[in-house]
Amino acid sequence: MKHATRIADLGCEVVEEILAAAKSWKRQPHRKHLEGKVLGLVFFNPSLRTRASFEAVMARGGGSAIMIEAGSESWKLEHRVGAVMNGECAEHLREAVPVLSRYVDALGVRSFSTDGNDEEDCRDALMRAFRKYATVPTLNLESAREHPCQGLADLMTIEEQFGATRCLPVLLTWAPHIKPLPKAVPNSFLLTAAMRGCEIRIAHPPGFELHREIIGEAHAYAEAAGGSISFFCEQERALQDVCVVYAKAWGPSTSRERVNDADSPHADWMLSARQMAGAAKDAIFLHCLPVRRNVEVADEVLDGEWSRVVDEAENRFHVQRALLHWLLN
């Protein structure tokens, strides 16, 4: 059975296939390729784009979606093996997932990092539990470790702008935030860009390193695809002549204490027109959204000619159509 809980489940060839199908089907918004299919969507965390885009994919494709908001409109779910369930969780995934699997053709799950521990996040226990107990294909809607649908939409947006991505200089730059955020989005951008052979630059202040397992996986993809990965602790140097600037806030590698408020020594990492001036003339700006204006990124960048953030969000719809088609066929 196919799953899409990590980009590794797809591999380079399927990623290429999905991006090609997404670009081609973008011109056929009403293509009915999911006739009669039902997608279960289990959300442990809030969402705007992921929920709306998957519901739209199913509706426009001739299928339908069932939304489960775990812990608010449905039972709070336990995933730990051997847990003594005398707390808030009324149901274990051991029953809930096989039951849902009897109703739907595929099951998507959103579950962010809970405690901000990078080792735990990399293990992705809740997503693994869904995959283990499901009897239908499972799909990652953003987990503690990865957000593969976002990574695919990011690369689709870049390819629409620049065509081939082999050796294209792209920068993933850390951004300030009022709270430490999980690393699923930067992980997925790095992994997917590596699969597509980009010249990847990652810039962050010391102490905000991505997990060594993700970096190791990305290096293997980059090597196979003819790309490269380099690291910077100065944003300005990393921006030089880069074609894509991707800003994203994420938490420190050791603990998720509150680190970035107005007095943060890293507030100058907020991306403004001054920084963007160092990038290539035709550079584009990406962010997965939601974005905190004038904390992570200045208005002038989000509203400027660099910004492709709305196209990027639209492309979630297109890559997810192609991904579901692959997953269910």
Neighbours of 265 (CB within 10 A): 10
Residue closer to ligand CP, measured from CB, 142 or 159 = 142
Q: What is the DSSP string of 182-227?
A: PSHHHHHHHHHHHHTT-EEEEE--TT-PPPHHHHHHHHHHHHHHT-
Nearest distance from C-beta of residue 164 to ligand CP, angstroms: 25
Residue 320, interface with ligand CP (CB under 6 A)?
no
> Of these, 78, 142, 154, 199, which contacts ligand CP (CB under 6 A)?
142
> Of these, 3, 6, 37, 49, which contacts ligand CP (CB under 6 A)?
49
State both tokens at 259: 């680190």
> Of these, 5, 50, 235, 275, which contacts ligand CP (CB under 6 A)?
50
Residue closer to ligand CP, measured from CB, 69 or 91 = 69
Stretch that binds ligand CP, among 47-55, 76-84, 132-140, 162-170 (CB under 6 A): 47-55
Neighbours of 263 (CB within 10 A): 6
d(CA 245, CA 271): 9
> Of these, 19, 288, 291, 302, which contacts ligand CP (CB under 6 A)?
288
At residue 47, what are phi and psi to the nearest 5 degrees?
A: -165, 150
- Residue span 145-184 as binding mask against ligand CP, x where in contact by CB under 6 A, dash where not: -----x----------------------------------
Residue 289, interface with ligand CP (CB under 6 A)?
yes
Q: Which of 171, 253, 257 is nearest to 210 (CA)?
A: 253
Q: What is the DSSP string of 118-164?
A: HHHHHHTHHHHHHHHH-SS-EEESS-SS--HHHHHHHHHHHHHHHS-
Q: How many residues line the site for ligand CP (CB under 6 A)?
A: 9
Contact 238, 99 (CB under 8 A): no
Q: Give residue for tokens 């630059």.
A: 201
Nearest distance from C-beta of residue 150 to ligand CP, angstroms: 5
Nearest distance from C-beta of residue 265 to ligand CP, angstroms: 28
Residue closer to ligand CP, measured from CB, 37 or 49 = 49
> Of these, 20, 48, 267, 310, which contacts ligand CP (CB under 6 A)?
48
Q: Return the half-sphere exposure (C-beta side, CA atoms, 13 A cut-off) of residue 272.
A: 7
Residue 260, interface with ligand CP (CB under 6 A)?
no
* CA atoms 230, 236, 242, 243: torsion sign: positive
Question: Counting Cβ atoms within 10 Å, is residue 18 exposed (0-12), middle (13-18) or buried (19+)?
Answer: buried
Helix axes 184-195, 7-25, angle to 10 degrees: 70
Nearest distance from C-beta of residue 177 to ligand CP, angstroms: 14
Residue 235, interface with ligand CP (CB under 6 A)?
no
Nearest distance from C-beta of residue 110 to ligand CP, angstroms: 7
Residue closer to ligand CP, measured from CB, 190 or 222 = 190
One-letter amino acid of 48? L
Residue 113, interface with ligand CP (CB under 6 A)?
no
Stretch that binds ligand CP, among 42-50, 88-96, 120-128, 155-163 (CB under 6 A): 42-50
Interface ranges with ligand CP (CB under 6 A): 47-50, 142, 150, 288-290
